[in-house]
Structure 1
Amino acid sequence: MKIRSRFNRKFLSVAAAAALLAASIAPAASAANLKGAKPSKSPQPFELTIMHSNDSHAHLENAARKVTAIKQVREHSPNALLLDAGDVFSGTLYFNEYLGLADLEFMNLAGYDAMTFGNHEFDKGTGTLANFVKQADFPFVSANVNFKKDKNLKKHDRNMIAMNPFDGTIYNGIVKVVNGEKVGIFGLTTAETKDISSPGEDVNFTDYIEEAKLAVQAFEEKGINKIIALTHIGYDDGGGDNDLTLAKEVEGIDIIVGGHTHTKLPAPVLDQTGEEPTVIVQANEYSKFLGALDVQFDKKGRVIEHEGKLIDLDQKVDGQFVIQDDPEAAKILAETYKPAVEQKQQTVIGNTTVDLTGGNPAARTGETNLGNLITDGMLAKAKTINPNTVIALQNGGGIRTSVAAGDITLAKVLEVMPFGNSLGIMQLTGAEIKEALEISVKDAPKAFGGFLQVSGLKFTYDSTLPAGQRVQSIEVKEDGVQYVAIDPAKTYGVATNTFTAKGGDGYTVFGKAYSEGRVSEPGFVDWEIFTEYVESQENKTVSPQIEGRIIDLAN
């Protein structure tokens, strides 16, 4: 069956978004319908709106605007669910200070219906996560994670499909009644979590495909034919599990609300494998957007029409935010949480005995000692996840400024790395690495934001030669000690940030590897990796130097 998309107009603002959604949803429902009204006898197709978020990573700067957006969509679309696909934890000082509870207050205020766990929910162990779970005013879903042996979470885990779920409780899946119709929601968390986070030995991850099939079967046995998978496995992640594979291999899932890869899907992706179509959505990262998906089901529970947009929470017109702050949320942020975070920014994380050189043009034209320090830290972190990682690369455009000799504050680190880029580990051949280095130096000696700072390798190039023919030699420190000539046919583990790994700055060679599933995304934000690395040095003191990692033979 070919699925039609009903709406072709753009979401010009949240108010416009809400109006568009309202046009597609029967206005007779009320908020009480979401708690369980009598089944509708209307022969009309069932229409549902799903608001969704993912990978917010403690970015609370626009929490008050997000609450406004949710309220406005709900006002016009009462047949709505609000879901989060995980990774609320880790990423900003709000998490460092409040361990997720600041985020949770806003989630409770907004009225989330369900959340699944991201890998970063386990970063501080299950004790911190259990404290988050028990204070939530909504249930959690994760069908492929078993907590029965974990001392902190086992009392919250029900390991079942719940028709009447309790808040602060973990289920394989839950049933929500929306305008008299039953909607099944189950959760999945990437099995990579055991390798890239800290769930502990007593948390068990099982096969996501098999668990998804069992969840669908359980819903169908209860007569529920509208099924949502709330996942944190990645849209197209190369770590072994992802939404595209899930959609193709598991029949009966109508909608996949995803996270983990921070993918920006401006419009839903439709997979039509099998007898029923599956709509896939994901709302990028860091609370930049609120996803809004409108779907229409026929009486057999098949999606027959759909439309989805990402509502830009930070959109401005004439310098003013289009979406206004919710007064209650703004007051909570300003009075309860923001003061401690601003104070924490002045924390000294270490000391440098030399000026650390970054910014434009320095980090975009040649090797810098700050580029060396950042990539060394990135490589050290990547090795703890995949010991076979031997190279790290950082785009110079992501090193925004320099650091004067003396104390290094968190505020300064955040100034150097303001984008919050996360770690990715690529599997690349030596030939592909050479291709990437040619892109890196294509504009030399002119500045290029994609100029790569490096660790674990060194190379020479001649900026007087034609672009694409400039790199003259490449050596890799395979054993961590000695440099050897790169082997074009050999595959190497290469750490970088996911912006670059996905093809940013014109790195099509990386983008190809990403599309082929050769990039894993353990996460971990750049400024946190840098901070951890500086703090691990003796006396928390660094003195990086220029080491001849990048040499232009024309000079």
Structure 2
Amino acid sequence: MKNKFILPVVFLSALFLFAGCKKEAEDIHIIYTNDVHGYIDNLKKNSDIKDNIPGVRYSSLTEYVKQLKSENKNVLLVDAGDHIQGTIYCAIDNGETIVNMMNTAGYDLATPGNHEFDYGMKQFLKLAGKASYPYISCNFYKKENGKITRPLKPSKIFKIGNSKIAFIGITTPETITSSTPKFFQNENGDFIYFIEGTENPQDLYDSVQKAINDVQNKAKYVIALGHVGIGLQEQKAGISSIDIIKNTTGLDCFIDGHSHSLVSGEIIRDKNGREVVLTQTGYYMNSFGEMIISEYGITNRIFSYDERHDGEIEELENAVFEKVKNELGKKLAVLETELYISNPNKPKQRLIRSTEMNSGDFVADSTYWYFNEEKDINCDLAIANGGGIRASIKSGDITKLDVKNVQPFGNMICLIKATGQQIKDALEMGLTVIGEYDYQWDSPAENGGFLHVAGLKYSVDSTVPSRVKTDSDGMFEKVDGKYRVHDIEVYNRVTGEYEKLDLNKEYTVGGINYILRNSGNGCSMFKNCDQVVDFVGQDCDIMSKYIESFAKEGEFPLIKTANSPLSAYKGYLIDYENPYGSGRILIK
């Protein structure tokens, strides 16, 4: 987000520096992170030594916190969610490494992001128990046998200096659909864990307001520590941090996450017109933030680089890097053309969730190939959601680690039977914001459920308004009107032709069980589909096998279109040399 309020923030900073000398010891420094997603190995280019050096890491922000404390500053270290999922460093032990690192770093508080639940509810609660810092959320609850309980406390009050400061934890209502819905259900498939605001944004506002009211008379400052975001989808649904501020009273600040936005200190007025400072540090530990609360106001700044590093944390980091390198660093193949998830001409413009990309084709092809060629089980088509494809792979030598970074979640591959109508509904579900533009990111609007395909092609008319209707849990119910998706065709491996999708015919569909078995991204249309096979292997392992199936040129497989075993399929759309894929998805 462009910082429209930089002048007031800079002014407050100057005022603090001018007049705050006598009161400095009473100022409160809040160091914060959000959406780290396991990016603990960041590098920065140093022009002086013409080499890469460590960038912002847990070790650097820890050293900064230590420095502040050595100067007798009042300091709190907090995180706004999504720290235990996203890279192999998280997945290697289901998040335990990251929690241990945060313990050692001295975090005081965290709120769970949607991806904190990606290893299952049992694992999240186990990790929350191992954390030396509490997790808080005012709108996450459990309802079983008519009884409502709160697995996490809604708030936390700290006495720091001569002041008390209260934090309110807030979790995005998008959690259930963007994580795995099954993890929020009991063994009978009934939901027992819920996020207030999923059905009605007013429920979210009421939950936050109640939490504020409960602490307002006990603390001098009240800060929201939320994982809710300010993205286009959040604002359209009325569940963004901006909406929460505008519909509540009593907050002083809002430290946010989820939308991966860089907000250095924007002023939003609450329900009574009072100013609230909103901030977010971006994503992947590219930055960390510092909020300074003094009697003269609130100042905020974002650090994009700090060369200091705490030795103890650095040892932990290096040990993890070495472990992963030994296990996953072996060369698999040579990649001729980069597999992109972003615009080749604008690397910060992520496109994998809004349009066809060669990486999306490649991931879907790996499942399609695996069933049809490796396992000799008929697979009519395969799908891969854009939100599950997390990284590009640069040309040159590639390793299992590169593949794992593309698909870090450890999703299992399965094969189901689904009707043409169910397939059409799933494609439509992924197209809800296609054609819209997110000006915050200077990028097409994203939907993590946007489906990349193999053995299938389809067209999209984005001028048709989305008519997808969902239930209170964000699950697909119906399309109430004209479909945006059209001209859906399935590849026939016998004839080498693409044929019109028959809405009444049953097809075999391959993909991750997150989508096909567990209703991920709201894809409940597949919930009761017959299973052919499940748990045949992790997605990253299947992709590695596909890579190893390419023809060798020298000692290793050379990854290019002509060397793919699928290139032998007559008339099959495949073109890995084109960043935007082979024309399987045509968007008007």
TM-score tier by shorter-chain length is: 0.5 to 0.7
Displacement, 1:230? 0.9
What is the rounded CA distance, in whole Å, between the counterparts of 1:477 and 1:272 in structure 2?
Answer: 47
Match of 1:359 in 2: 338
Consecutive unaligned residues in structure 1, runs of 5 or more: 12-18, 30-46, 160-168, 298-303, 314-321, 380-388, 419-423, 434-438, 441-452, 460-473, 486-519, 523-527
Q: What residue in structure 1 maps to residue 195 of structure 2?
A: 205
The question of whether the paired residues in 1 share the 8 Å contact of 2:268 and 2:276 is answered with yes
What's the counterpart of residue 345 of structure 1? 328
**C-alpha contact (below 8 Å) 2:457/2:490 kept by paired residues:** no
Indicate yes or no: 2:267 matched with 1:306. no
Deviation readout 1:464-519 (Å, 9 max, x if unpaired): xxxxxxxxxx995547666789xxxxxxxxxxxxxxxxxxxxxxxxxxxxxxxxxx
In 2, Cα distance between the equivalents of 1:112 and 1:338? 22
Contact 2:403 2:543 (8 Å CA) reproduced: no
Alpha-carbon contact 1:87-1:121 (below 8 Å) kept? yes
Give the Å deviation of 1:77. Answer: 6.5
1:328 and 2:351 aligned: no
Aligned to 1:492: none
Alpha-carbon deviation of 1:536? 9.7
CA separation of 1:141 and 1:399: change in aligned 2, threshold 3 A: closer
Alignment of 1:263-412 (within 5 A): 263-271=261-269, 273-296=271-294, 305-313=297-305, 322-335=306-319, 337-346=320-329, 357-359=336-338, 372-374=361-363, 399-402=392-395, 409-412=399-402
> What residue in structure 2 maps to residue 547 of structure 1?
573
Change in CA separation of 1:400 and 1:124 when aligned onto 2, cut-off 3 Å:
closer
Q: Does 1:217 align with 2:213?
A: yes
**97-106 vs 225-234, which deviates more?**
97-106
- Which whole-Å deviations, capped at 9, do the CAs of 1:22-53 have from their partners, x for residues lacking one? 95782445xxxxxxxxxxxxxxxxx4322111
Aligned: 1:101 with 2:96 = yes
Give 1:60's match in structure 2, choosing from 26, 40, 64: 40
Kindly indicate whether the alpha-carbon contact (under 8 Å) linking 2:225 and 2:255 is maintained by their aligned counterparts in 1: yes
Contact residue 38 and residue 86 of structure 2 kept, 8 A: yes
TM-score by length of 1: 0.59
Q: State the identity %.
A: 20
2:83 is matched by which residue type in structure 1? V
In the alignment, the residues of structure 2 paired with residue 292 and residue 22 of structure 1 have an alpha-carbon distance, to the nearest angstrom, of 19
Alpha carbons of 1:196 and 1:272: their partners in 2 closer, same or farther (altered >3 Å)? closer
Q: Distance in 2 between matches of 1:271 and 1:536?
A: 54
Check conservation: 2:88, 2:405, Cα contact below 8 A: no
| SS of equivalent residue, structure 1 residue 247 | helix
Letter in 2 for 1:534: M
In structure 2, the CA distance between the partners of 1:275 and 1:147, relative to structure 1 (3 Å rule), is same
The answer to whether the 8 A contact 2:393-2:402 is kept is: no
Q: Cα distance, 1:260 vs. partner?
A: 0.8
CA distance in 2, matches of 1:242, 1:183: 23
2:214 and 2:490 mapped to 1: Cα distance? 51
CA RMSD in angstroms comes to 5.0
Q: CA deviation at 1:266?
A: 3.3
Aligned residue number for residue 110 of structure 1: 105
Please tell me whether the aligned partners of residues 347 and 409 of structure 1 are also in contact (alpha carbons under 8 angstroms). yes
1:534 aligns with 2:548: no
Instruction: Give distance in 2, aligned partners of 1:374 and 1:24.
Output: 57
- The letter of the residue matching 2:337 is G
Amino acid of the residue matched to residue 50 of structure 1? Answer: I
Report deviation, 1:226.
1.8
Counterpart in 2 of 1:242?
240
Q: Conserved in 2, the CA contact under 8 Å of 1:21 and 1:294?
A: no
Change (3 A) 1:175 1:535: same
Q: Distance in 1 between matches of 2:268 and 2:70?
A: 28
CA separation of 1:330 and 1:216: change in aligned 2, threshold 3 A: same
Provide closer, same or farther for how the CA distance between residues 293 and 537 of structure 1 changes in structure 2, counting only shifts above 3 A.
same
Work out the CA distance in 2 between the residues paired with 1:126 and 1:392. Answer: 22
Instruction: Structure 2: give runs of 5+ residues left out of the alignment.
Output: 42-56, 186-191, 198-203, 346-355, 369-381, 409-428, 438-442, 445-451, 460-483, 492-497, 502-520, 524-536, 551-563, 575-581
- Equivalent residue of 1:171, what SS? coil
2:163, 2:220 within 8 Å by CA — same for their partners in 1? no
CA deviation after TM superposition for structure 1 residue 377, in Å: 7.5
1:79 aligned residue: 74
Q: TM-score, normalised by structure 2?
A: 0.56
Residue 145 (structure 1) aligns with: 140
Give the distance between the partners of 2:538 and 2:68, measured in 1 at CA. 37
* 1:427 corresponding residue in structure 2: 432
Q: Is the 8 A contact 2:177 2:522 kept in 1?
A: no
Residue 139 of structure 1: SS of its match in structure 2? Answer: coil
CA distance in structure 1 between the partners assigned to 2:549 and 2:205 by the alignment: 45
Conserved in 1, the CA contact under 8 Å of 2:9 and 2:300? Answer: no
How far residue 263 of structure 1 moved from its aligned partner, in angstroms, is 1.0
Give the number of equivalent residue pairs.
402
Q: Does 1:131 align with 2:139?
A: no
Are residues 378 and 262 of structure 1, via their aligned partners in 2, closer, same or farther at CA, if it must alter by over 3 Å? farther
Deviation digits for residues 63-113 of structure 1, max 9, x if unmatched?
222211222244447223221111111111111223222222222222222
